[in-house]
Structure 1
Amino acid sequence: MNYGIIAAGQGSRLVQEGVGLPKPLVRMCGRPMIGRLIDIFVKCGAESVSVIVNEEMTEVAEYLRSLAPSLPCPLNLVVKTTPTSMHSFYELSSLMEGKGRFIITTVDTIFREEDFARYVNAYAAAPQEVDGMMAVTGFIDDEKPLYVATDDDNRITAFLDAPQAGVKYVSGGIYGLSGSAIPVLRKCLADGVGRMRNYQRSLVAAGLDLRAYDMNKIVDVDHASDIASAEAFLEGE
């Protein structure tokens, strides 16, 4: 499996709340968040890891360059400032094209290693006609969650900005996709579509077979207070 990390955001809320490190380097149980993600990907059989950071994140780029020689797989670094996470994904997409299934995460998505490993195995074992598998959670702590509607087979039928009856999941910021998702991404860029959630809606509108995988609890680190609560979650408290 090939993996990608979107780490090109500004992390402005953490800065405003007094966190001095760039978000990807904020420590999570003693490890920089981005380093922890890469460790997990390697344990899950990464063939490659691709990361995009913005042009202001010189510390993050330096950290990744220093980490690369110790990894058992290629680490591809893209340094570019982008307006949205969808545009960041577009910058990574050329590194994923032609490599079969791949998984993209945002850098501030925190999950338990064992839950992620089960998700990777489920996606790898899914029938070939499945175009993607999105990790979802019933735990809602995001300020603007993206609700995920599913049918009885966990096929995703809609991405919603507001809750609806019978909808029990929100997006976990972990996107398992295949090559069939890339032409839809290019069309979104050409049509001026913005934001990752609108891209996901476009995938459904294009008729792609997307499945939801319940990864139990997934949390985001958006505020300084989220750091301690995320660590407590990982430590099982």
Structure 2
Amino acid sequence: MKIIVPMAGRGSRLRPHTLTVPKPLIPIAGKPIVHRLVEDIAAVLNQEIEEIAFIIHRDFGDKVPLELIAIAEKLGAKGSIYYQDKPLGTAHAIMSAKESMSGPVVVAYADTLFRADFTLDTTADSVIWVQRVDDPSAFGVVQLNDNNQIVDFVEKPKEFVSDLAIIGIYYFKSGETLRSELQYLLDNDVMKGGEYQLTDALENMKQKGMKFVPGKVEHWMDCGNKDVTVETNSRMLNFLHQDGVNLVSPSVVLEDSTIIPPCYIGEGVVLRNSTIGPNVSIGDNTMVADSNIKNSLIQTNTKIKDANLDNAMIGNHAVFNGHFTAVSIGDYSVLE
């Protein structure tokens, strides 16, 4: 099994944090989004992962490919790096990794996390991960027949046709077939809105009689902007806490401070005269003093003093001293 992860987008809705760190490498509960994503996919597949192919932009720098290869190796897989330099749509992005498209593959966009407990139907030509939503008009949805097979894809329906939204994770039994269908779009210039779309390839495959079935997830968590990323961090902390995962490093220095779980507290963190939690992630080597912090995401090597934070997101190597609350501060920022 191979996993292909398109992640070349800049994540503009999550600025200023994505000005220095690609969105898929933003940590959620102490681990990068893309790392959690491929771990969760591997758990659902319950199969050996041969390769994880990451599709990135060249301006991500030299460090990012090394981090991504290390993520793959932690799962016992080969890590491959491909580049998409022009934003020409989902189909174009996936085709950037065409050399890795053989055998069974999973395509997963690296801006979403999920919790699921289902058995992958490997007899199907494709499995599309879906989640029931309250407002289907904001999503692409699938329609099912009485045999639980997908019979139609509808993009942002104005009238109700289904509440099963496509979350951006797909299984294909044959990577070669997927590659052929995507190549057809590129060769024949089949575009919508100036972009090559994966949904057009899916429709062509369905018209040829291929079997599509849904993989239903219980929880779908977005990481699109600051507020939803902080919320996703809180939800993931609660899931991990319920699973009995120890989220507080033994190296934390606790001086007249209280941690209200669930919280992730990284290595070398110092807490002085502070109350932390619930639903807080604090990255390695951060210092917090004389502060109350809840429902917030704080990254590494940051200094916080005299703060009262709620729904906050603070980057790496930042300094914050004040009485603001729902802040969003990028890397190396100083407010004091």
| TM-score, normalised by the number of residues in structure 1 | 0.83
CA distance in 2, matches of 1:143, 1:17: 29
Letter in 1 for 2:222: D
AA in 1 matched with 2:171? G
Q: Does 1:189 align with 2:216?
A: no
User: Alpha-carbon deviation of 1:62?
Assistant: 3.4
Of residues 10-19 and 167-176 in structure 1, the stretch that sits farther from structure 2 once superposed is 10-19
Cα distance in 2 between the residues matched to 1:28 and 1:140: 25
Q: 1:63 to 1:110 in 2, by over 3 A?
A: same
- 1:204–1:210 contact (8 Å) kept in structure 2: yes
> How many Å apart are 1:10 and its aligned residue?
1.6
- For 2:137 and 2:55, the matched residues in 1 are separated by 24
CA distance, structure 1, for counterparts of residue 168 and residue 128 of structure 2: 8
Distance change in 2, residues 1:165/1:177 (3 Å): same
Choose between structure 1 and 2 for higher RCO, CA contacts under 8 A separated by at least 6 residues: 1
2:11 and 2:18 in contact (8 A); partners too: no
Secondary structure at the residue paired with 1:218? strand
**Which of 120, 123, 126 is the equivalent residue of 2:121?**
123
SS in 2 for 1:167: coil
CA gap 1:172/1:69 in 2 versus in 1, 3 angstroms: closer
Equivalent residues in 2 for 1:125-140 (5 A)?
127=123, 130-139=124-133
Deviations 1:8-57 (A, max 9, x none): 11211112687752201111111111222233455543122111111111
Distance 1:184 1:139 in 2: 29
Distance in 2, Cα, partners of 1:162 & 1:143: 4
Shift of the alpha carbon at 1:195?
2.1
SS of aligned partner of 2:80: strand
Count of aligned pairs between the two proteins:
226
Distance 1:181 1:154, change over 3 A: farther
Report the TM-score when normalising by structure 2.
0.60
Secondary structure, in 3 states, of the residue corresponding to 2:49? Answer: coil
Task: Report the 3-state secondary structure (helix = DSSP H, G, I; strand = E; otherwise coil) of the residue aligned with 1:123.
Answer: coil
* Preserved CA contact (<8 Å) 2:126 2:211: yes
More strand by share: 2
Q: Distance in 2 between matches of 1:226 and 1:86?
A: 26
Q: Distance in 2 between matches of 1:88 and 1:141?
A: 28
- CA–CA distance in structure 1, aligned partners of residues 59 and 127 of structure 2: 32
Question: Are positions 1:25 and 2:21 aligned together?
Answer: no
1:157 matched to 2:154? The reply is: no
CA distance in structure 1 between the partners assigned to 2:2 and 2:134 by the alignment: 28
Alignment partners' CA distance in 2, 1:186 and 1:35:
29
Which of the numbers 81, 89, 107 marks the counterpart of 1:77? 81
Report the aligned-residue RMSD. Answer: 2.6
Per the alignment, do residues 110 and 203 of structure 1 end up closer, same or farther by CA in structure 2, a change over 3 Å counting?
A: same
Aligned partner letter, 1:220? D
Unaligned runs of 5+ in 2: 191-195, 240-278, 280-336
Match of 2:164 in 1: 169
Does structure 2 retain, via aligned residues, the 8 Å contact 1:139–1:217? no
Q: Which protein is bigger by CA-based radius of gyration?
A: 2
Matched, 1:96 2:94: no
CA distance in structure 1 between the partners assigned to 2:134 and 2:6 by the alignment: 21
How far did 1:223 drift? 1.0
Is the alpha carbon distance of 1:22 and 1:210 closer, same or farther for their aligned partners in structure 2, counting shifts above 3 Å? same
Secondary structure in structure 1 of the residue aligned to 2:82: strand
**Unaligned regions of 5+ residues in structure 1, if any?**
none
Could you tell me how far apart the structure 2 residues matched to 1:154 and 1:93 are?
30
